[in-house]
Amino acid sequence: MEWREGEGTRWLEASLPGATAAFSTRRGGVSEAPFDGLNLGVFTEDERESVLDNRHSLAAALGFPPEKVVIAHQVHGAELVAHPGPQVPSPFVSPDSAIPQVDGHLTAEPALPLLVFVADCVPVALSGPGGVAMLHCGWRGLAAGIIARGVEAIAATDAAIGPSIGPCCYEVGDEVLGAFAGLGGGIAAGFRLDLPEVARRLLGAAGVDRVESSGLCTSCEPELFFSHRRDAGRTGRQAGLVWRLGEGG
């Protein structure tokens, strides 16, 4: 992955076969503390107009009209929705519009950016012959099989794992550890779970071995990322996106 900058924002970018993935940071934007600066989440205590300004800035930086960006109301599950085109009306620019309650997006259309909001959960971008997928992977979604569903839906061959909370900062209980006991050793040190490694192993089990990971912990990087756990829930949201390239892209 490589760092990119534009329109006052900064993001990580990964190249996948026939696709591009991007993972935003909090750098840029107009939101004030504690949501400074590029907060993309309207379901926070931030000013809605600031969030909408931030969304427009991110879309502009990535080279898309904001109304093309596809989103959902995330519920920590494993359901996916396929998109033949942009959402009309666009909930990304008009938050009161109808919005699906899912944690994963699929599309075969080029230049249609799929976005998930994160603030510790794992954003996973997939590409394959059937298109691209963007997954919001909290522990519940991972345990429920969201990665296997996404891989199967597009016959994914490659993946990019964005910044998320790391094993250094993610202490969990027996219920969470037990959900992944079948993945073998090395996914936890005591009660500290390595959520990106869980995602990687689930990708491998689903047949995806080409995986690039940022290796960055959202909780450890307060200058770069929002973190729900670090900030006791009062924080913003960054994003993971993926889009399919067009011919010659």
Domain ranges of the chain: 2-164+210-244
pLDDT class of 7 with cuts at 50, 70, 90: confident
Q: Could you read off the pLDDT of 83-131 as tens digits, one per residue?
A: 999 999 999 999 999 999 999 999 999 999 999 999 999 999 999 999 9
Q: How far is CA 249 from the centre of its chain?
A: 22
Structure tokens at 80: 């996916």
- 2-164+210-244: CATH superfamily: CNF1/YfiH-like putative cysteine hydrolases (3.60.140.10)
**What's the chain's average pLDDT?**
96
Q: Could you read off the pLDDT of 33-49 as tens digits, one per residue?
A: 999 999 999 999 999 99
**How far, in Å, CA of 182 to CA of 54, rounded?**
41
Non-local (6+) Cβ contacts of 121 within 8 A are 136, 137, 138, 141, 164, 165, 195
pLDDT class of 247 with cuts at 50, 70, 90: low
- pLDDT of 249 above 90: no
- pLDDT of 248 above 80: no
Q: How far is CA 213 from the centre of its chain?
A: 12
Helical residues (DSSP H) of the chain, grouped into ranges: 48-62, 139-144, 146-154, 174-179, 195-205
**3-state class (DSSP) for residue 41:** coil
pLDDT of residue 246: 83
Q: Could you read off the pLDDT of 159-212 as tens digits, one per residue?
A: 999 999 999 999 999 999 999 999 999 999 999 999 999 999 999 999 999 999
Percentage of the residues of the chain whose pLDDT score is greater than 90: 98
pLDDT of residue 82: 98
Non-local (6+) Cβ contacts of 69 within 8 A are 55, 59, 90, 92, 113, 115, 241
Tell me which amino acid residue 238 is: Q
**3-state class (DSSP) for residue 58:** helix
Q: What's the pTM?
A: 0.97
